[in-house]
């Protein structure tokens, strides 16, 4: 059986090891300084939040919804025209003339397909609540 002194030494070592693990962790409610009148300043009080953060999250969510609607609501040709026209999937956007040449169809036909596809997407985006999948309409 270990002596009381060894047990205390072991507990002290365990304490230092646990403190070392937590060394990089900080709580937002930790007090940074206290004023003379007794009020304290916490980390949460001094950390700023990027004003554009919520807008960026909304934009990202909208992009995800548009991509999902393109996938679910458009037929293959419409989805391809929209992806090429607006640069979805990391591509550079193309003009209607460039898309027409690539697909072997007229520019006016590309325009009609694009217009019809955009109408479908608009209806799907309005009908589908945020975070909900849309039904396939070809």
Q: And the tokens for 41?
A: 């300043």
Share of the chain above pLDDT 70, in %: 69
User: What is the pLDDT confidence band of residue 132, given thresholds at 50, 70 and 90?
Assistant: very low
Please report the domains of the chain, with CATH numbers, ordered by start residue: 53-127 (1.10.10.10)
DSSP state of 87: T
pLDDT digits (tens, 9 = 90+) for 6-33: 777 777 777 777 666 666 666 767 776 6
Residue 48 has pLDDT above 70, yes or no: no
Whether this model's pTM surpasses 0.85: no
Q: Are 4 and 13 in contact (CB under 8 A)?
A: no
Mean pLDDT, the chain, whole residue set? 79
Q: Are 70 and 56 in contact (CB under 8 A)?
A: no
Residue 94 has pLDDT above 90, yes or no: yes
């Amino acid at each position: 059986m270990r002596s009381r002194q060894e047990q205390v030494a072991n507990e002290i070592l365990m304490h230092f090891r646990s403190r070392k693990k937590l060394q990089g962790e900080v709580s937002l409610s930790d007090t940074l300084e206290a004023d003379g009148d007794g009020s304290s300043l916490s980390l949460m009080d001094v950390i700023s939040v990027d004003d554009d953060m919520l807008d960026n999250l909304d934009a990202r969510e909208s992009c995800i919804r548009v991509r999902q609607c393109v996938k679910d609501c458009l037929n293959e040709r419409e989805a391809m025209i929209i992806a090429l026209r607006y640069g979805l999937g990391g591509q550079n956007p193309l003009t209607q003339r460039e898309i027409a040449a690539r697909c072997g169809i007229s520019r006016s036909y590309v325009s009609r397909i694009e217009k019809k596809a955009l109408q479908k997407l608009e209806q799907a985006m309005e009908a589908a609540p945020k975070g909900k999948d849309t039904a396939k309409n070809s």
